[in-house]
């Protein structure tokens, strides 16, 4: 596919509650080239997580367009968006979001099994070995430390060979030393896979590892260290 793996144009989101409107995003436009790394930073409430949800097709914008893996999300229904995410997108969250009734290996295999691919367990075991958890493959999330759970989540995110990985505060629930190890793994795996990476973070050290930083304030881009901000 030619062109950016993610393209947002004039993206806006307004919520209405009790007759009052709150604009969380206002006219945001940017591109994420394939294989690039980008940090999204800004104070709490600046619209970062809302932006991530819109770009992943988890929510719909009030105005504007998103093209994900070359596909315009606007005309797609929820099932079509879910299918596009399954084929092209990986996620890592602050809260890990592992399924508690599945082992580490079973959690990692999920994206492949949902796509009906053979060899899902073998791939999951290879990825768990890559993140240093080969000996924990049969453990359930409750039997793993926070850092181990996030490493399982990383393995799961890359299992489906995504074109784009969204990471929302991936080290936010970890202590500094564990967070640094997970951070290093994230970038190592990303480089090996050639995946585009978009990270929402409050951590300046994590943001500094990305090739580009987009800074938000009050729902608008105030700085972009990569290409100039694109006019909507």
CB-facing half-sphere around the CA of 107: CA atoms within 13 A: 30
In angstroms, what CA-CA distances link 95 with 36, 54, 57, 169, 228? 25, 20, 20, 9, 33
What percent of the chain is modeled with pLDDT above 70?
97
pLDDT of the residue at 203: 86
Residues 6+ away with beta carbon under 8 Å from 58: none
Q: Which long-range contacts (CB under 8 A, 24 or more apart) does 120-127 make?
A: 120/159, 123/159, 124/155, 124/159, 127/155, 127/156, 127/158, 127/159
- Three-state DSSP at 40 gives strand
CB 73 within 8 A of CB 66: yes
What is the per-residue pLDDT across 9-68, written as a single tens digit (0 to 9) for each?
Answer: 999 999 988 888 888 999 999 999 999 999 999 888 788 889 999 999 999 999 999 999
pLDDT of the residue at 210: 93
- Quote the pTM value: 0.88
User: Is 6-224 a domain of CATH 3.40.50.300?
Assistant: yes
Tokens encoding 54: 């819109």
- Report the 10 Å Cβ neighbour count for 16: 9
């Amino acid at each position: 596919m030619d062109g950016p793996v993610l393209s947002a144009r004039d993206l806006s989101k307004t919520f209405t509650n009790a007759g009052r409107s709150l604009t969380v995003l206002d006219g945001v436009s940017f591109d994420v080239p394939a294989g690039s790394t980008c940090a999204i930073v800004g104070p709490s409430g600046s619209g970062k997580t809302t932006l991530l949800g819109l770009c992943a097709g988890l929510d719909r914008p009030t105005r504007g367009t998103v093209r994900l893996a070359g596909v315009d999300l606007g005309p797609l229904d929820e099932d079509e968006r879910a299918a596009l995410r399954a084929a092209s997108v990986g996620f890592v969250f602050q809260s890990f979001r592992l399924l508690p009734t599945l082992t580490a290996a079973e959690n990692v295999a999920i994206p492949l099994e949902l796509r009906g691919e053979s060899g899902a367990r073998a791939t999951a075991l290879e990825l768990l070995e890559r993140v240093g958890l080969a000996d924990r493959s049969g453990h359930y999330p409750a039997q793993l430390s926070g850092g181990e759970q996030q490493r399982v989540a990383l393995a799961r995110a890359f299992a489906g060979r995504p074109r784009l990985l969204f990471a929302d505060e991936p080290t936010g629930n970890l202590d500094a030393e564990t967070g640094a190890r997970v951070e290093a793994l994230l970038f190592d795996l990303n480089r090996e896979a050639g995946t585009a990476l978009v990270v929402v973070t409050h951590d300046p050290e994590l943001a500094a590892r990305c090739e580009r930083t987009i800074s938000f304030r009050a729902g608008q881009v105030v700085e972009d260290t990569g290409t100039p901000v694109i006019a909507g």
